[in-house]
Amino acid sequence: MQPEIEHNGVVVSVGERSVDVSMTVDRACEGCKAQAICGMGEQGERMVTVWSDFAAAFAPGEEVVVSMTRAMGVRAVTWCYVMPVLVMLAVLLGGSALGLGEAVTGGGALAAVVLYYFGLWLMRHRIEKVIMFKIRKM
């Protein structure tokens, strides 16, 4: 079993198969070794939608624990941060190798990253099935 990254939160709303949870980063995150993977240390408050067949068991205002495996956290960081940088570098190096001007190469790199994020947005429903949060009552 892989270690999990956990955060406490409060249920904001409950849907038919989803639970919206508000999580506030506290001082405990400052010393956490998984902070780089998790990304929670960068913001004060964060909203997360947790998909669950047992969503009806939760009520707004209820305190819960939201968790995910470290492997899923690494996958999310890779898709959101590492891959766009690699796409940008590939276009920059490719444009330079082809002898394109700096403006064209830079604009192409930015356009490639925008297209990459647009592709992620189009695939968001598939990604939601791969990177899944778990929820439990405190």
Domain extent listing, the chain: 4-137
Cross-strand pairs, 47: 22
Sheet holding 45-51, edge to edge: 45-51, 18-24, 4-14, 63-69, 134-137
Residue pLDDT, tens place only, 101-133: 999 999 999 999 999 999 999 998 888 888 888
Tell me: the pLDDT tens digits for 26-79? 555 555 655 555 555 555 788 888 888 888 899 999 999 988 888 888 888 899
- What DSSP letter does each residue of 30-62 carry, written as one string? GG-TTHHHH-GGG-SEEEEEEE-TTGGG--TT-
The pTM of this model reads 0.69
